[in-house]
Structure 1
Amino acid sequence: MKKVLLITCALFTGLITRVAAQTSPIFPKGEIATVNNHTGTVWLTELNKADSTIDINVANATFAPGAKLDWHIHPAGQILMITEGTGYYQEKDKPIQVVHKGDVIKCAPGVAHWHGAAPNSSFTYIAVSTNSAKNKTVWLQRVTEAEYNSAH
């Protein structure tokens, strides 16, 4: 009976360890962003800084529920790979898209857009930007409450 109990405890401990590993973030949250281009709390971690060998910036961004970036443009485009939560993505003059873990968003070059967390969910993505010399983000106006609330 002791052997059965020990084996059961070992299996249960292994299961808990695997579940915990599956729910922990892939990358650290990073530091709270202090720039004035968003509303709510946003954490940012730079994963790769473009250089002369590989001209790709990669960052991990995490948004508290309801946090969102201002309208902005990436002159050379950007790809967002959603890794956690539920968020919103909207291009100028188009309806909001609700996005979830596993979705990939292609932010077209030169197109004004915004993205952020849904009201009741945190939201995390990995952002990939190429052509760093030509792809400095152009920040525009704040997302209004009416724009944000048009998703529900």
Structure 2
Amino acid sequence: MELVPVAPTAIAPTERFTGRVYVSPLHSGESPSSLVSALVHFTPGARTNWHSHPVGQTLHCTQGSGVVVTRDGAVIAMRPGDTVHTPAGEEHWHGALPDSLMSHLALVEHLNGESATWLEPVSDAEYTTATSQAFV
């Protein structure tokens, strides 16, 4: 057992996110573990690009309000305490509502050294459509 030192929070890369997003790394598994976890903080209106995960992803909302959206247009609204799982290979995005900060724990596993396939940014129209459906 060991107490893991706190890793510094970093600004998320702009080529994978729209708006201001901060990532606080929590754990990066060493073999045989492949678990990677982080606390991700989205400012109002901030979001990920479209992406998928080879082994899926679990998100647990800790603060604020946000959405998780799939290519087929399904929208799941998240509030603190909500957990959303996206299965392996499902293209999706997630982010904060326009008027709320949102933080979530992100849990993924590496497969052959990869944890995500990053795709194009979410357009403003896609964002507006999805967030207008949240909590309706």
Identify the structure with bigger relative contact order (alpha carbons < 8 Å, sequence gap 6+): 2
What residue is the counterpart of 1:117 in the other structure? 96
For residue 49 of structure 2, the aligned residue among 70, 73, 76 is: 70
The answer to whether structure 1 residue 44 and structure 2 residue 23 are counterparts is yes
Give % identity: 32
Q: When the two structures are aligned, how many residues end up with a matched partner?
A: 126
CA RMSD of aligned residues (A): 1.9
* Partner Cα distance (1:108, 1:39) in 2: 23
Gaps of 5+ in 2: 1-5
The Cα shift of 1:30 comes to: 1.4
Between Structure 1 and Structure 2, whose CA radius of gyration is higher?
1
Residues 42, 84 of structure 1: CA spacing in aligned structure 2 closer, same or farther, 3 A cutoff? same
Which segment is superposed worse, 106-115 or 90-99?
A: 90-99
Higher helix content, 1 or 2: 1
Aligned to 2:124: 145
Higher-strand-fraction structure:
2
- Which position in structure 1 is the counterpart of 2:87? 108
TM-score (normalised: structure 2):
0.85
Q: Does the CA contact (< 8 Å) of 1:75 and 1:134 recur in 2? A: no
Quick check: 112-121 or 122-131, which moved more? 122-131
1:60 matched residue in structure 2: 39
- d(CA) in 2 for partners of 1:147 and 1:57? 28
Residues 40 and 103 of structure 2 are in contact (CA less than 8 Å); yes or no, is this contact kept in structure 1?
yes
Using the size of structure 1 for normalisation, the TM-score is: 0.76
Partners in 1 of 2:51 and 2:34 — Cα distance?
21
- Residues of 2 paired with 1:122 and 1:28: CA distance? 22
> Contact 2:65–2:77 (CA<8 Å) still a contact in 1?
yes
